Structure 1
């Protein structure tokens, strides 16, 4: 069976071009990871690629782990699937001793702490929040490839510190870091790029090692990452970039979608493939997404692929499938209305893990958690403590590894169950909310992994699998309702999505004032919409505290501010709230 057999026509075209520059413009839900992995597998199967000569680059350790896992499932091992930072750090650690006769500098684990120490030496006492903002500015400056002197020409004030102090503090931070012979994460990329530029023998060795490059989420590359990619490529042209300009949501961190949008200009002979068949969402959801992004640079026109996606407004089940918008009088009433809708869906048989509530800022999560907990609904906050970093999970993994050493006659699954019961797993969960429920859900997730393990699994292989999952951040799904910011939800999907806080000042957020900033907020809204597979519900509150709010301008752009249209229908608030229809 060919690696191309499981692909549709457009995916197959993208995966079959193995040489020269290739740009895959992949809309949300169109199977970009499938294309990346099947393209590499096809190259290996046909002999065009040697696995050890392939580098697949992405932006998170979790995404890199997913790439490796999918390649293994296709029978392809030995491919270097890494983040930019991981690849650069590996090269620094390998070449630095031969160039300098010494080990590579250490990596600092906390910019804010070192900034605080530099500030103390200067007699400054900025707040921790200010130090975090300064750390973010240092990251932006470096990935934008600006010196401190060049940064001084930018108009980027930070509350709590004067502009001249900001520059002095950045210089003091760099001096302290050099004195301690340490690098920060951005220095890793800068040092690797500098090494490749100044040491021809290093560049030659790297060019010999890696011949074929694939870059996922190319719309998110910064100038520094793109420069490093160019140095890794050298004068070769075997590069495949995959991205979606409509999902550029990290401009504040230095991402520049122009590298994706201008790819054809840099490579006039590039093969460009557009993936617009969406395998995730129903047609009415895609209609909302397309309406929001219509006319924006690089926007793709998503089309449904699912057999049940052709549901149109007016059809028999239109009320369940057409996205809704609901207006409430206050944020508290909005949270209660969302909790009521979630409870109703769970009561109808939907698994809590199939439901997500998305919002713009972390501060919006507290009132939602409270409203859901009041109805006995357990939640998990995406971007909180990682599953395998939870003390209950670490304790369970250690206990299972210990049990694997001692022989047992009761079998694999009963042993796992006994170990977890000994650590506190009960048949029924504790009341919703709090650390006890979080721990119960984590232990129950481990038990489900054991229950779903293939025949022949032993306790030792199961414990090893848990360790491998921890390394790749391959976390099991918890049977809880997910709460997440829009940023953290990128790349994920759920059957049922509720988007909270679609009011001016919340989305777009109040400090987004320029055209470019508003456009980034629009792309965030698009990311939220396209997480939904089956149902989508949008809501907003007329007041926040004592302030009045207007509906988000994005509601008008997609055809509603609370009045029914052909794309979104108006939905009455929960009877539990005092909200009025918009």
Structure 2
């Protein structure tokens, strides 16, 4: 382990686990980073350390983030940090991008191999829906009457359901011809529609986000081309690797095998994009592709109150199959609270359970009013309500209750796909662009990477999915049906609960019963209003932007540089 003295001086608060990651200079690396463990800071310092040791030139370094917003934030932090430590190289030559952007570059350079135009269109989620609607008869016409038997009765139902299916087929590398020959009529219909959709894309010179990856993967099947791309990368690091699909994994391994220094960062317990074919298997299986892969951990949680950490550990404890060392004790895979004896004693985790949905809402309103009137929080924007979906039937009861009681709220309509692809409003510095003075209502998926002093999680079990869609997943996904039905939802709730810094509230009612994943957690917690109100009233929650060890003056400079740059971009 070798770390530049400039880094020690700039950030003396790095803990031993973080220093191990920063000081890794050569060879494959897997970092299992839990929530609140300072992952982004550590990744940036590792890149700076590699440059400060002249292990590689800036143009030989690649950092792949999972979405456009994450890549932009990484770029901003990287440049600001390099400035603080006085690195004099050309940081603009470091490639900080997404897997989709790299795939697009491959397609632009080799479009003729696929019969695409050099100026082919890339369809966003909205453009993909418009494309399928415009060419509906060509894609679905022969099969629409038969799809109606399976509940796909209207064009809108066909479009929304098929988009999910087509993404899964593409990113899980499923052969549509296998589906056509499956002997299952529903699978055959989806397979034939997919073939027609793919033909329509090629004919019009278009690619959706999944086909960017698929067609780039086809190009990189040529070892000469793959070697040309991979040989220019001395070090490549991929963030949020638990959320890569089979296709993304193949892309990373192809371009990463030529230099011997691939690194990936992620947390199997935060893998929440199964609906796009993603899962933690790629992260846990990463060492199997290399003889000498080093596995390091970041499991000290600097964000949350120790009671919140314990509740989250209980919630995820039954996440079987996602430990790289199943023989190790459970504590080996749990989060560890930072300085547990230094936190005040108050009810930091409790539940709300009404006799019906209306009483649940009334209790929830009482809590929000109490937090604000007692000045436990100074602004409503320090409170977030996280739900499993932005659909109207999920969000409306909460939003209407807040407005009826004149509690200002902001409904973020970013969906999971928006978060994945980077469309919609930017999440600069996590929370900085959310409106002040309003309770934030947001999905669990969109909350990833963010934090609030107070988080309220609506624990209701989501309405059941289509059995036919689940049969498609069950047969062709690398994860079984039980995995998607139980463990994936458990991880969604884990992500939501670990957003809380000071107070975590879990809500439910007989009409909106808590998901089974919460059974053990729920039994251990106090219930509102039967909590220690005096202890809670003595607290004063403040927003913690970077809940890590106290930064030095020079690290504070990084935050100022980022803030100035953000204001200039507005």
TM-score range, shorter chain: 0.7 to 0.9
Match in the other structure for 1:270: 293
Say which of 493, 503, 509 aligns to 1:525.
493
Counterpart secondary structure, 2:462: coil
Change (3 A) 1:163 1:154: closer
Describe the shift of the 1:141–1:278 C-alpha distance in structure 2 as closer, same or farther (beyond 3 A): same
1:285 and 2:308 equivalent?
A: yes
Task: Give runs of aligned pairs for residues 73-472 of structure 1, distance below 5 A.
Answer: 73-75=80-82, 76-96=91-111, 103-109=118-124, 110-121=127-138, 122=141, 124=144, 126-152=154-180, 162-198=186-222, 200=224, 202-296=225-319, 297-298=322-323, 300-306=333-339, 310-311=343-344, 317-319=345-347, 321=348, 323-349=349-375, 350=377, 351-362=379-390, 363-384=393-414
Q: Deviations over 1:92-131 (max 9, x none)?
A: 2244479989625222342223333443242547431331
* Contact residue 507 and residue 552 of structure 1 kept, 8 A: no
* Cα contact 1:280–1:306 (8 A) shared by 2: no
The 3-state SS of whatever aligns with 2:446 is helix
Tell me how far 1:174 sits from its aligned partner.
1.7
Q: Does 1:2 align with 2:6?
A: yes
Instruction: Find the residue that maps to 1:514 and give its secondary structure.
Output: helix
Q: What's the C-alpha RMSD, in Å, of the aligned pairs?
A: 3.1
Q: Deviations over 1:165-216 (max 9, x none)?
A: 333322221222222122222221122222222261x334312332211011
Cα drift, residue 526 of structure 1? 1.0
Which structure has the larger Rg? 1
Structure 1 CA distance for aligned equivalents of residues 451 and 206 of structure 2 = 39
Question: Which 5+ residue runs of structure 2 have no aligned equivalent?
Answer: 83-90, 145-152, 324-329, 417-423, 471-480, 532-570
Measured after TM superposition, the shift of residue 518 of structure 1 is 0.6
Displacement after TM superposition at 1:383 (Å): 3.9
In 2: Cα distance, 1:101 partner to 1:72 partner: 36
Whole-Å separation in 2 of the counterparts to 1:471 and 1:269: 37
* The 10-residue stretch of structure 1 (333-342 or 275-284) with the greater mean CA deviation from structure 2: 333-342
For normalisation by structure 1, the TM-score amounts to: 0.74
Select between 164-173 and 94-103 the one with higher mean Cα deviation.
Answer: 94-103
Q: TM-score with structure 2 length normalisation?
A: 0.75
Q: Larger relative contact order (C-alpha < 8 A, sep ≥ 6)?
A: 2
Tell me, yes or no, if the aligned pair for 1:92 and 1:104 is still in contact at 8 Å.
no
Q: Which moved more, 1:377-386 or 1:258-267?
A: 377-386
Q: Distance in 2 between matches of 1:293 and 1:164?
A: 37
Offset at 1:163?
A: 4.3
Q: 1:510 to 1:181 in 2, by over 3 A?
A: closer
